[in-house]
Every structure is written in structure tokens, then in C-alpha cells.
Amino acid sequence: MTPLDITTQLLQVLCALALAPAFLGWVNQCRAWLQNRAAPSVLQPYRGLRKLLIKESVLAENASSLFRFAPYIVFGTMVAAAAIIPSMGTGLPMSLAADGIALVGLLATARVFLSLAAMDVGTAFGTLGARREMMVGFLAEPALLMTLFVAAMISHTTSLPLIAAELTNRAPALYPSLAFTAVAFTMVLLAENARIPVDNPATHLELTMIHEAMLLEYSGRHLALMEWAAALKLFNYACIGFALFLPWGTSREAWGPAGLALAAPLLLLKLALAGGALALIETVSAKLRVFRAPEFLATAFLLAVLGLLVHLLLGD
């Protein structure tokens, strides 16, 4: 563990914390442009967070301590996840502690606490949102794991930084298996982050919302943490996607500080492109009925398994 590794690690976590709301703002801005609306500033999520942090937090009378602790746990797991995803460099001391499978576990922990907190107060909407979230979660998780397995089988390791490093080392070639899993991963990303075909992040319409329904009882700093955690989750998923499918440009240990200086603008470029693509997908697709969401996620799982099988057969 060199000082450079520790710098990379710290810089990466700070970068995730600082950039996550901007990434969300950028996606919202692109969506607004594509839909011919006046676009909000990229900085809008920061303003929302500042407003919420200043405001007083109101708790329901029958809220248990779980309800109060959940935002910190959810936020904490997201920060921990950001620490093990190689978004800027592959020499990450934290990633020795947790591999890709543990990362899926971390994301599941956040989901469980978010759902428990939503059920805690006992309002109808919170329970409804929590149940839907668990439904989407238990269908999306196998697809996400399969996606990770394909990349892990190609690079013979489950550690995300090593996968990214191994994939960059390979000579450029067509990987049908990775192409399938990239589509599957995009579908999982949309479902897990409450984006359009599965959930609408901008809606407050009772019957259709999933993520927003779980946050209805939160206010003040708790809500700020929850929203920041949601932005971080989107950022993390985008970075997992970069690590698996666009690993070029992440800094290596051998490159020294120069690699880090190169990785930062490349990350920004990738985020800008991914945000634009995400906004495009959300604009051209219509929201599915909740009962159709399992079909959507079953297709993602199917694609991921097909990727795995094609990899086994063709051995690329």
C-alpha cells in the first residue's frame, strides 16, 4: 500500500461524494433538453441538498430508532461501495476487503434498510413502495450477479479493480458475451435506480412511484442523506458499468500520479456520455406497468445468462 494508493482511494471517494449530485443534475438537464423543456442547472441537486440540510427534521410520532438510523446506514453503504469501485484508479487498498459479490451484498444491505425504514412508520404508501422495491430488487440482483460473473470469468477474478485492469490489458476484440451483458447491465441500472421504464424519478403520483414512496416520511437532513445516497447509487452503478465495459483510462499503479491526472478528465467525459445516453433511453421509452417490470428484469437476466453461455461456448 503506497501513499499513491491511499491518495487514489481518498480522492476517489471524495470525487464520488462531490460528483454524484452533479451527475444526477446532468441527467436531469439532458432529459429536459431532449423533452424541449427549460433545463434546470446542473447544480440544482446541490441546492436541494443544502436546503434540506438547513431545514429541521420532523419525525413521525411512532417512528422507531431504525427510522432515524436508516439514512446514515444507507448513505454509509453507498460511500463504502464507492470506495471499492475502480472509477479513477485500480490500486485501491479498500478493494482488498471486498470484491464484486460483496459489492452486490452492500447494495442489498442498503435496499433492506431503506425498505425497513419505509415500513417502519406504517403508512400505506411506505409499505407499498417497500414491497415494490423488494420485488424489483430480488429480480435485478441475479441479473447483476450474472453480469459480474461473465466479466469475472473472462478475467479470472471477482475483484472489480483487477477485472478492469485485466480487460484493459487484453488486445481489443469483439466480445459478444460482454455486449449481451452490457445490455443486461443497462437494464438493471435503469430498474435499480428508479429510472423510467420501471419507475419515474420525477413523479409523485401515488399509484406508480416506487422509490419516492419510500421517502415520503423523511424530511430535513434525513431526506437530504437519502437523496444524496440515491444520487451516489446512480453514480456507483455508472462506475461499475465503466469498470466492466469501458475500463480504458482508469489509472494503474505503474503510471504514478500522471495516471491519476489523466483518469479524472476521462471519468468526467465517460460520465457526460453515460448521462446523455441515460437521458436518451428515458426519453424514448415509456414507463412500464408495475406488473410488467418482472418481464423487463427477466429479459435482463436472460441476456446476462446468454452472455455467460456464449462465453462458455465460444471461449472468447
Partner 1 sequence: MNPLPLDLQLLNACASLLLLLSFSMLAQRRVVNLVNLLALQGALLCFATVLVALRTGQAHLYLSAALTLALKVIGLPLLLHRLIRRLGVYWDAEPVINPSGTMLIGLLIVVFSFGLAQPLAALASTATRSTLGIAIAVILLAFLAMITRRKAMSQVVAFLSMENGLFFGAMSATYGMPMVVELGVALDVLVAMLVLGVFFFQIREQFDSLDLHHLESLKEVE
Least gap, CB of 187 to partner 1 (angstroms): 14
- 44-54 vs 3-34: helix crossing angle, rounded to 10: 110
Among 38, 124, 171, 258, binds partner 1 (CB under 8 A): 171
Q: At closest approach, how far in Å is the CB of 309 from partner 1?
A: 6
Give the one residue of 12, 177, 181, 236 binding partner 1; rule: CB under 8 A: 177
How far is it, in rounded angstroms, from Cα 203 to Cα 205?
5
Min dist. Cβ of residue 292 to partner 1 (A)? 11
Closest by Cα among 177, 312, 315 to 244: 177
The span from the CA of 267 to the CA of 273, in Å, is 10
Residues within window 266-295 making contact with partner 1, judged by CB under 8 A: 294-295
Judged by beta carbon, residue 54 or residue 298, the one nearer partner 1 is 298
Q: Return the residue of 60, 179, 246, 290 that touches partner 1, per CB under 8 A.
A: 179
Minimum CB distance to partner 1, residue 249 (Å) = 21
| Distance, C-alpha 48 to centroid of its chain | 20
Asked if 248 touches partner 1 (CB under 8 A), the answer is no
- Distance CA(206)–CA(210), nearest Å, equals 9
Rounded to a whole number of angstroms, the minimum distance from the CB of residue 174 to partner 1 is 4
Q: How many residues bind partner 1 (CB under 8 A)?
A: 24
Q: Which is nearer to partner 1, 264 or 302 (CB)?
A: 302
Q: Which of 176, 197, 220, 276 binds partner 1 (CB under 8 A)?
A: 176
Question: Residue 288 — φ and ψ, nearest 5°?
Answer: -80, 155
What DSSP assignment string belongs to 280-308? Answer: HHHHHSPPPPGGGHHHHHHHHHHHHHHHH
Grid coordinates belonging to 293 = 417490470
Report the sign of the C-alpha dihedral through residues 195, 199, 204, 210, in that order: negative
Binding positions for partner 1, rule: CB under 8 A: 170-174, 176-177, 179-180, 294-295, 298-299, 302-303, 305-306, 309-310, 312-316
